[in-house]
Structure 1
């Protein structure tokens, strides 16, 4: 705060008023103070007492896409279990696929001096974290890679998973296979689309543009896609659990339904008729591996950033085995 006051040419009390949103500061003065804050990378230190004592806060931050999604609920639980074994707690926030909100949450957690961060990226620009990583705050990215920085990352084999799903359908005689994926700006969605294309190439079947639709998807958009040119497809690969559920609702009234393989397992998938064949992986291990990597850094691991890719597997249940 002294540095900000000196750079802006004001008193420490004026800086305090600006930082805490108090009134009584002229607009020109406030502008100078905020410019100095941005230049110096200053933010409120809500855990200053802990730092003065030379102790950790016992809290890590976890930024997700949407905690309401069962996938992220399972991931959060796994992170919490690792943190509790370390005598720590987890602060969690949902970005809603908004890069601005992701950054806001990250900076808020940092202002509370969390010991480290786990981030499921919403955007692809993470240079704003470079200084934090350089100065010793460990950051691990989960499920999606960061953009613009080199950091520990724990991912899933998205390309291999959708390629496997596509080959599985092709092996049952399907030649017209459709793909419903999430927004192509999301790295996992782009990778799963690439895996679908690779699976088609490996099976010697063409990728028909009218049979590929990328999101974001709602129940209405999925229903519209499946009622259009995709209606002629004999098989379908869905890019995540929510899209799979939307597709099942849209197909529920049809006498003839396409064979279906979904990426991500989901609750009750094994009880549907037919049960849903999925590409699955250990979601709990995804969260636990990221948390263990974070605590390894906190324990002093100074090795270069690592990238861990967890394997996927095909869970055969029936919906993906319907012949062409």
Structure 2
């Protein structure tokens, strides 16, 4: 399901314009400070209600030098191994500074993400590390502009003033598919995440580039984007294997999708016949039969770099936004080295 578009949040400037008062007057009213007549306060409160303005207590705390020694972390799914490993790396780094984490899953739902951000800010967190949902990141820009440090992980920030940590998704996918091509495969299926997720498109693009490098066109019949669960991935893989001209190998562009392909191949007794390379490591991958070859992301480096960027902002860094690009690594284990049938190589 495509991520829903988030509405823009009203700012203190909007309230000031609606009430025809200064921003300082609005600030005094929402912070409960004296020095404002009842008539002006009523105008401000009316504008606040009409615009649905939510006062950012976290930003107010930071501007006043007050800290809570807590940060918010939002990821796609805390139950996913990639997300949990990144979170643990953030937590370990934060612990050294006496900072506690408030973490939750967005489930790739932009409305849920907005609700969670509102909840975190109401608890006066000092900053946020977010795996953004969808392409519309205007709500993160608003919080950043209000003074709350924001760092994105896994997806590149849309606002050049916001810090981020990303990996070379296209390059990693290109390496994965080139590895399968080197073992003779020419019919390679891809299973990817929802098409409105930037990383899914980057990995699909890397898949297509690898085919182009080998002088091969991409076949839309072999591309399946939109799978979110293990079960959906297994169903897509089964459909592809039933084609008149089926793939002899798969590139699974996310760890949970890779496990779905493993299920489909095992049910058909073809685990040692069809090649497979996954993106993101798979729990116990080396114990499967055959062990699964993957493109590994350095989850510890991702989490540590994200926390270091956030700490720098909390320590007063006012420099321009910085995006850290990390490489991926091909981990050869067995499934990606299964040769294509002789007829396919020919």
Common topology (TM > 0.5): yes
Residues 184-193 or 222-231, more deviating: 222-231
Structure 2 residue 199 is the aligned partner of structure 1 residue 199: no
Structure 2 residue 261 is the aligned partner of structure 1 residue 250: no
1:135–1:323: structure 2 CA closer, same or farther, 3 Å change rule? same
Q: Distance in 1 between matches of 2:139 and 2:66?
A: 25
Q: Deviations over 1:147-172 (max 9, x none)?
A: 45641110011100010000001011
- Unmatched segments (≥5 aa) in structure 1: 10-14, 17-29
Structure 2 residue 206 is the aligned partner of structure 1 residue 225: no
Residues 139-148 or 162-171, more deviating: 139-148
Query: 2:337 is matched with which residue: 310, 314, 321?
Result: 321
Q: Distance in 1 between matches of 2:79 and 2:269?
A: 33
Structure 2 residue 288 is the aligned partner of structure 1 residue 272: yes
Structure 2 residue 187 is the aligned partner of structure 1 residue 172: no
Deviation at 1:141, TM superposition (A): 0.4
1:52–1:158: structure 2 CA closer, same or farther, 3 Å change rule? closer
Q: Distance in 2 between matches of 1:53 and 1:138?
A: 15
1:316–1:300: structure 2 CA closer, same or farther, 3 Å change rule? same
SS in 2 for 1:100: helix
In 2, are the aligned partners of 1:65 and 1:96 still within 8 Å (CA)? yes
1:226–1:298: structure 2 CA closer, same or farther, 3 Å change rule? same
Cα RMSD after superposing both structures: 2.8
Q: Distance in 2 between matches of 1:55 and 1:288?
A: 25
In 1, are the aligned partners of 2:134 and 2:198 still within 8 Å (CA)? no
Structure 2 residue 315 is the aligned partner of structure 1 residue 299: yes
Tell me the residue number matched to 1:184. Answer: 195
Deviation at 1:145, TM superposition (A): 2.0
1:145–1:272: structure 2 CA closer, same or farther, 3 Å change rule? same
Structure 2 residue 100 is the aligned partner of structure 1 residue 89: yes
Tell me the residue number matched to 2:254. Answer: 240
Residues 149-158 or 258-267, more deviating: 149-158
Tell me the residue number matched to 2:173. Answer: 162
Residues 248-257 or 83-92, more deviating: 248-257
Deviation at 1:207, TM superposition (A): 1.1
Q: Distance in 2 between matches of 1:148 and 1:267?
A: 34
Structure 2 residue 66 is the aligned partner of structure 1 residue 61: no
Residues 106-115 or 66-75, more deviating: 106-115
TM-score by length of 1: 0.85
1:149–1:251: structure 2 CA closer, same or farther, 3 Å change rule? same
Query: 2:304 is matched with which residue: 276, 288, 296?
Result: 288
Q: Deviations over 1:160-214 (max 9, x none)?
A: 0010000001011111111111111101111000000011111222211111100
Aligned length, in residue pairs:
303
1:222–1:176: structure 2 CA closer, same or farther, 3 Å change rule? same
Q: Distance in 2 between matches of 1:138 and 1:51?
A: 10
Q: Distance in 1 between matches of 2:229 and 2:298?
A: 26
Q: Distance in 1 between matches of 2:316 and 2:59?
A: 21
In 2, are the aligned partners of 1:130 and 1:149 still within 8 Å (CA)? no
Deviation at 1:267, TM superposition (A): 1.4
Q: Distance in 2 between matches of 1:112 and 1:144?
A: 25
1:34–1:315: structure 2 CA closer, same or farther, 3 Å change rule? same
In 1, are the aligned partners of 2:58 and 2:126 still within 8 Å (CA)? no
Deviation at 1:116, TM superposition (A): 0.8
SS in 1 for 2:128: strand
